[in-house]
Amino acid sequence: MLHRIPKIDEMKCLLQENVNNSRILYLTSYIVNIGNNALFDYEAVRHSIVVAKLAKEIAKEMKLTDSELEDITCIGLLHDTGKQEISPELVKKPKSDMNMKEWNNIQQHSIASAVNANMVLRDPLFRKFDDKRREGIVDAIHFHHERYDGSGYPFGIKGKEIPLYSRIIAVVDVFDALTNQRPYRTWIYTKAEALKHLYHERRKHDYDVLIAFVETIKKKSGSII
């Protein structure tokens, strides 16, 4: 069987950085396999890898510990796996064309992803993770679409009620979605435009996370643009 492996720099980087981490290698091959089963398209695989990579960079900038960097990488890789349960037609539909039932279905993906992560983390590879650590990862996935001002879903919690890991994922999730093609949008934002958009919507995000993100972008490209 011919496997479609995303040929992207972030994937190469993620694998190189984690060459000795069997858990990250396992989760990466897990999402690539979902992609190969056509339950989760190529773009979703690419997005998960990029979110994992960028979220880890923000976490590093925020001086999180090594085990926290590993946790956020796991969260990035698994955060959208619940989309397997949504029809590809619905995932591609613009929000403005969705009826209430369809929008509710979309909102359920963060819960489905958390349930899925809870199962994946039962693999013996994760036996060194205690319950608290496993719960932290699952909760972060559960709340990755919540927003700092309470405008997110599915619960509408706000501020520091939202776990830090989820607040980090929220920023890179939006950034990567804006800077890549989406079936429901005809344009792609440049990195500078996406940062500007995040700034305009800063009430939706944790300002400290936004600042750390800008710093990581500066370090990567020498400037914000």
Residues contacting 186, CB < 8 A, separation 6+: none
**Distances in whole angstroms, Cα of residue 190 to Cα of each of 143, 171, 185, 196, 213:** 27, 16, 14, 10, 16
Of 12, 60, 63, 83, catalytic: 83
Q: Write out the two tokens for 168.
A: 């980090």
Angle between helices 164-178 and 42-61 (to 10 degrees): 130
Residue 132 designated active-site: no
Pick the closest to residue 202 from 161, 170, 176, 165 (CA basis): 170
Nearest-approach distance from CB 207 to Fe ion, in angstroms: 22
Q: In this chain, which residue has its C-beta nearest to Fe ion?
A: 80
Binding mask 29-68 for Fe ion (x = CB under 5 A): ----------------------------------------
- Binding segment for Fe ion (CB under 5 A), chosen from 31-39, 45-53, 79-87, 183-191, is 79-87
- Binding segment for Fe ion (CB under 5 A), chosen from 77-85, 126-134, 156-164, 213-221, is 77-85
Nearest-approach distance from CB 76 to Fe ion, in angstroms: 11
Helix (H) or strand (E) holding 21: none
Q: Is 80 in the site for Fe ion (CB under 5 A)?
A: yes
Residue with tokens 């009826």: 99
Contact footprint for Fe ion (CB under 5 A)? 80
What are the catalytic residues? 83
